[in-house]
Amino acid sequence: MEVVIVPDAAAGGELVAEAMAQLLGRRPDALLGVATGSTPLPVYEALAAKVRSGAVDASRARIAQLDEYVGLPADHPESYRSVLRREVLEPLGIGMDGFLGPDGTAEDVRAACAAYDRTLAEAGGVDLQLLGIGTDGHIGFNEPCSSLASRTRIKTLTQQTRADNARFFDGDVDQVPHHVITQGIGTILEARHLVLLATGEGKADAVAATVEGPVAAVCPASALQLHPHATVVVDEPAAAKL
Ligand code: GLP
């Protein structure tokens, strides 16, 4: 595992965007796995700036979703499909035909999860997966004690994660869905390159457990230690406990 400490969130965004830009230069139809949350926004902004300046052509790139709320209509502004359309696809000029994601509204959610794992495999696998990290060490929506070999499946959110995400639902935790679909940790580990980005002092404990703790299900992100090509990009506040 490679750990890169950058001065601030903007520098982290630029670094990861540059890695994505170089990948797209080598492989214009690369499959980029993307995360939601506040942390990756500087990445998407920096990559979109490269597209606007003509330095990067993302028109053939494909985007794969990491996780999704169960039961939110796809056009709900906080469904992760909507969020990614707004924050990633539109700024990069990628149409929905380049988008892969699970169906959070499926009647048979378990079948939708299995179908998404198949879709990812049939698409050739994720080339670069960008991950954020929850304050409890979760990646995607794999909460602590998720199996490190897990596949895409339905999960129940912890109260802490629902509270953390209430800010996207007018601060009202009751509006945050209880159930989600998430790529499993085993699924995530199949990406060819994992890039975890963490910024801010609130992530310092989770980053220390990820990088220096044991590989253990209590810290799902520690599974990155098992991956042959994992990069952890942290700003100085998030690196404070390393
Ligand atoms: C959610 C997402 C994760 C993300 C996490 C951290 O739980 N499912 O993929 O990493 O939030 O979000 P933030 O970057 O806003 O702290």
pLDDT of residue 74: 85
Answer yes or no: 138 catalytic.
yes
pLDDT tens digits, residue range 52-61?
Answer: 999 999 999 9
Please enumerate, as own/partner, the contacts of 45-48 that have beta carbons within 8 Å and a separation of 24 or more: 45/13, 45/91, 46/10, 46/13, 46/14, 46/16, 46/17, 46/18, 47/17, 47/20, 47/21, 47/91, 47/92, 48/91, 48/92
pLDDT of residue 138: 95
**Residue to probe by mutation, ligand 1, list 133, 180, 233, most atoms within 8 Å of CB:** 133
Ranges of residues in the chain whose predicted pLDDT is under 70: none
What's the CA-to-centroid distance between 122 and ligand 1, angstroms? Answer: 27
**Residue to probe by mutation, ligand 1, list 146, 152, 155, 164, most atoms within 8 Å of CB:** 164
What's the CA-to-centroid distance between 161 and ligand 1, angstroms? Answer: 9
pLDDT of residue 204: 98
Answer yes or no: 136 catalytic.
yes
Q: Give all domains of the chain, ordered by start, each with its CATH number.
A: 2-221 (3.40.50.1360)
Check: pTM over 0.90? Answer yes or no: yes
